[in-house]
């Protein structure tokens, strides 16, 4: 349940998100109205520690709030979750100077952060980068194609993976850069099947930032990825997907129970009941896995160990599959009018398109291959 | 110290970013292109080549850090394998 102190703020954001969701989806434009409310309510600063003027929100707060946003608009939920992933990474791993420079402004809602990890040459791999950098007079020179950047043209700053100055492709750094330190050119459009309001445009980012803005100069990049960057991403994504599947499911139940639904559905049908039960089971299993993983991340003394890494990756692949399965089943249950047409108030059509991205948003196949290798290293197979 | 030629040969097959020179025993293998997926393939190759079994507790970043750390591990396991055991 969302903590009392955030409840009003979340309600404000979801009310606005709800009004604009259909239009933003249709036109594939960024939910700037919802972002405005995320700024105003200071929810953008959720994960900023108290010493930097934030509320010091925990990962459970991130999960609770993202689920709720996901019920209304998956694009908004993703935008929020990915921003929070960047904030958490800065709060945990940046040097004191960079933290002091960035976090108070995030707490005030002044900075919306986008994520740049995907590259044309290496795809979604986090631990390899083909984007070379050089270090010139204390400045990191960045010049990088970014094929898909959620909210890229609305972001105030970016966390960018690049190859370490003069390093091999396996030596990767995470660099913080504000939009005004870079020339950020949008090089194409975003006209996708779903997640249309994320406006995840291709960009070319070029510029120079002080070497003090290399986040990973203070903590090893691989350990940042294993202990913060990937776990928080998977938690946030799973929460967003779960929220959207849950929203669709509860709208369908509400519809069946209501007067219009009574005319269209037979609540006594065995098929309808077994389909609903299957959906509910997928939601409960995903939710249990999400909470269990969140607890492991918050409490395990070694998040980088094999068992926890396996769990964190499994959360991503399983929630992606199951949440999509839920809307797929709901479309079948609701039929053409409410399952397939975009003007139905049940909005299954949009949820279906949006959730189709889940397995692709960091390819499930890619993660399964990693998990298969990790599994072979773990003969005892102790479960976390 | 240089690496045993047979270790150098096995390693080379699993590292993406090596040139023709002998491997520097202290160069981090990660930097030369070893990732978790390649590490498991390397593990099987080492076990097959040197007729050892690398136990789970040695499957750490430390063991796979450099050519030198792998050589030390493999040498020790081979010595243990050839030592007569009690009973
Ligand atoms: C809505 C949305 C928003 C996004 N936002 C951002 C963002 O803000 N910033 C950002 O940097 N990126 C973003 N991404 C990109 C995302 O993180 C992934 O990089 C991207 O979805 C992967 O694209 P891909 O399928 O082309 O690449 P790949 O991961 O290269 O996969 C291509 C295909 O090959 C398979 N494959 C690849 N490698 C392997 C392997 N080793 N073994 C087996 N199969 C493999 C995959 O399963 C897939 O079928 C976003 C993606 C989506 C869908």
pLDDT (0 to 100) of residue A126:
84
* Final residue in a domain of this structure, among A86, A111, A136: A111
Give residue B22's domain range: 5-80
Q: Which residue of A170, A374, A377 is in closest CB contact with B31?
A: A170
Percentage of chain B beyond pLDDT 90 is 60
Confidence of residue B85 (pLDDT cuts 50, 70, 90): low
Shared domain check, A282 and A141: no
Shared domain check, A366 and A264: yes
Shared domain check, A311 and A273: yes
- CATH code, domain with B75: 1.10.1200.10
B35 belongs to a structural domain:
yes
B16 belongs to a structural domain:
yes
pLDDT over threshold 50, residue B84: yes
Cβ atoms within 10 A of the Cβ of A372, count?
12
**Structural contact between residues A172 and A127, judged by C-beta atoms closer than 8 angstroms:** yes
Mean pLDDT of B37-53: 92
Q: Report the alpha-carbon distance of residue A75 to residue A364 in Å, rounded.
A: 20
Shared domain check, A322 and A248: yes
**Structural contact between residues A80 and A66, judged by C-beta atoms closer than 8 angstroms:** yes
A383 belongs to a structural domain:
no
A382 belongs to a structural domain:
no
Atom of ligand 1 at shortest range from CA of A362: 18
Q: Write the CA distances from A345 to A56, A283, A331, A384, integer angstroms.
A: 37, 21, 13, 41
Q: In this structure, what token pair is assigned to residue A158?
A: 């970016």
B85 belongs to a structural domain:
no
- Total domains, chain A: 3
Shared domain check, A194 and A234: no
Mean pLDDT of B37-65: 91
Q: Which of A118, A147, A161 to mutate to test the pocket of ligand 1 (most atoms within 8 A of CB)?
A: A118
Give residue A197's domain range: 114-213
Mean pLDDT of chain B: 89
Shared domain check, A104 and A92: yes
Ligand 1 touching residue A362 (CB < 6 A): yes
Shared domain check, A127 and A96: no
Atom of ligand 1 at shortest range from CA of A117: 11
Q: In this structure, what token pair is assigned to residue A36?
A: 């405005």
A→B interface, C-beta within 8 Å: 127-128, 167-171, 222, 369-370, 373-374, 376-380
pLDDT (0 to 100) of residue A214:
95
Shared domain check, A118 and A105: no
- CATH code, domain with A178: 2.40.110.10
- CATH code, domain with A354: 1.20.140.10
Q: Which residue of A167, A222, A379 is in closest CB contact with B56?
A: A379
Q: Which of A360, A367, A369 to mutate to test the pocket of ligand 1 (most atoms within 8 A of CB)?
A: A360
User: What would the DSSP string read from start to end of A36-92?
Assistant: HHHHHTTGGGTTS-GGGTS----HHHHHHHHHHHHHH-HHHHHHHHHHHHHHHHHHH
* Final residue in a domain of this structure, among A166, A186, A213: A213
B55 belongs to a structural domain:
yes
Sheet bearing A182-186, strands edge to edge = A134-136, A139-149, A201-210, A182-186
Q: Which residues contact B51 (CB under 8 A, 6 or more apart)?
A: B78, B81
B30 belongs to a structural domain:
yes
Give the distance (Å) from ligand 1 centre to CA of residue A216: 23
A56 belongs to a structural domain:
yes
- Residue A365 three-state SS: helix
pLDDT (0 to 100) of residue A248:
98
Angle at Cα B74 formed by Cα B72 and Cα B79, nearest 5°?
Answer: 95
Atom of ligand 1 at shortest range from CA of B37: 41
pLDDT (0 to 100) of residue B87:
45
Q: Is B31 on the interface with A (CB under 8 A)?
A: yes
Shared domain check, A105 and A136: no
CA-based nearest residue to A294, from A61, A82, A55:
A61
Q: Which residues of chain A neighbour B59 with C-beta distances below 8 Å? A: 377
**Structural contact between residues A154 and A32, judged by C-beta atoms closer than 8 angstroms:** yes
B86 belongs to a structural domain:
no
B13 belongs to a structural domain:
yes
Q: Is B62 on the interface with A (CB under 8 A)?
A: no
pLDDT in tens, chain A (384 residues): 999 999 999 999 999 999 999 999 999 999 999 999 999 999 999 999 999 999 999 999 999 999 999 999 999 999 999 999 999 999 999 999 999 999 999 999 999 999 999 988 877 788 888 888 888 888 999 999 999 999 999 999 999 999 988 888 888 999 999 999 999 999 999 999 999 999 999 999 999 999 999 998 767 898 999 999 999 999 999 999 999 999 999 999 999 999 888 888 888 899 999 999 999 999 999 999 999 999 999 999 999 999 999 999 999 999 999 999 999 999 999 999 999 999 999 999 999 999 999 999 999 999 999 999 999 988 889 899
A315 belongs to a structural domain:
yes
A384 belongs to a structural domain:
no
Q: Which of A198, A233, A363 to mutate to test the pocket of ligand 1 (most atoms within 8 A of CB)?
A: A363
A227 belongs to a structural domain:
yes
Shared domain check, A196 and A80: no
CA-based nearest residue to A46, from A218, A232, A220:
A232
B87 belongs to a structural domain:
no
Ligand 1 touching residue A148 (CB < 6 A): yes
Residue whose CA lies nearest to ligand 1 atom number 48: A363
Q: Report the alpha-carbon distance of residue A359 to residue A299 in Å, rounded.
A: 27
- Total domains, chain B: 1
Nearest chain A residue to B30 by CA distance is A170
Q: Is B58 on the interface with A (CB under 8 A)?
A: no
Shared domain check, A40 and A51: yes
């Amino acid at each position: 349940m969302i903590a009392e102190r955030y409840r009003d703020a979340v309600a404000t954001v979801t009310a606005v998100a709800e009004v604009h969701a259909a239009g933003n989806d249709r036109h594939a434009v960024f939910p700037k109205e919802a972002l405005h409310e995320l700024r105003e309510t200071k929810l953008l600063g959720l994960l900023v520690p108290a010493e930097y003027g934030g509320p010091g929100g925990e990962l459970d707060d991130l999960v609770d709030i993202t689920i709720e946003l996901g019920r209304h608009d998956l694009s908004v939920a993703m935008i929020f979750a990915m921003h929070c992933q960047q904030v958490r990474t800065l709060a945990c791993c940046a040097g004191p100077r960079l933290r002091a420079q960035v976090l108070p402004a995030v707490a005030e809602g002044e900075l919306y952060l986008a994520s740049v990890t995907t590259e044309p040459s290496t795809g979604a791999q986090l631990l390899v980068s083909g984007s070379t950098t050089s270090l010139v007079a204390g400045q990191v020179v960045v010049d990088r194609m970014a094929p898909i950047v959620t909210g890229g043209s609305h972001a105030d700053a970016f966390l960018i993976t690049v190859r370490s100055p003069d390093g091999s492709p396996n030596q990767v750094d995470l660099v913080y850069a504000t939009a005004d330190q870079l020339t950020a050119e949008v090089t194409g459009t975003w006209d996708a099947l779903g997640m249309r309001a994320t406006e995840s445009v291709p960009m070319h980012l070029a510029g120079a930032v002080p070497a003090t803005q290399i986040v990973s100069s203070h903590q090893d990049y691989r350990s940042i990825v294993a202990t913060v960057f990937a776990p928080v991403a998977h938690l946030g994504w799973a929460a967003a997907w779960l929220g959207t599947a849950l929203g669709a499911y509860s709208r369908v139940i509400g519809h069946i129970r209501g007067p219009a639904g009574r005319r269209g559905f037979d609540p006594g049908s065995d098929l309808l009941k077994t389909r609903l039960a299957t959906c509910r089971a997928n939601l409960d299993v995903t939710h249990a896995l999400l909470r269990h993983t969140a607890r492991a991340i918050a409490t395990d003394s070694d998040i980088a160990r094999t068992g926890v890494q396996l769990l964190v990756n499994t959360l991503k692949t399983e929630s992606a599959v199951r949440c999509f399965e839920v809307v797929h089943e709901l479309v079948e249950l609701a039929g053409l009018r409410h399952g397939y047409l975009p003007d139905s108030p049940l909005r299954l059509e949009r949820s279906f398109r949006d959730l189709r991205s889940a397995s692709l948003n960091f390819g499930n196949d890619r993660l399964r291959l990693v998990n298969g290798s990790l599994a072979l290293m773990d003969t005892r197979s102790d479960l976390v | 110290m240089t690496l045993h030629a047979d270790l150098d040969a096995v390693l080379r097959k699993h590292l993406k970013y090596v040139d023709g020179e002998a491997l520097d025993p202290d160069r981090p293998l990660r930097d030369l292109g070893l990732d978790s997926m390649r590490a498991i393939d390397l593990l099987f190759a080492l076990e097959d080549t040197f007729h050892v079994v690398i136990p789970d507790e040695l499957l750490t970043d430390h063991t796979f850090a450099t050519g030198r750390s792998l050589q030390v591990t493999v040498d020790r396991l081979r010595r243990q394998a050839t030592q007569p055991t009690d009973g």
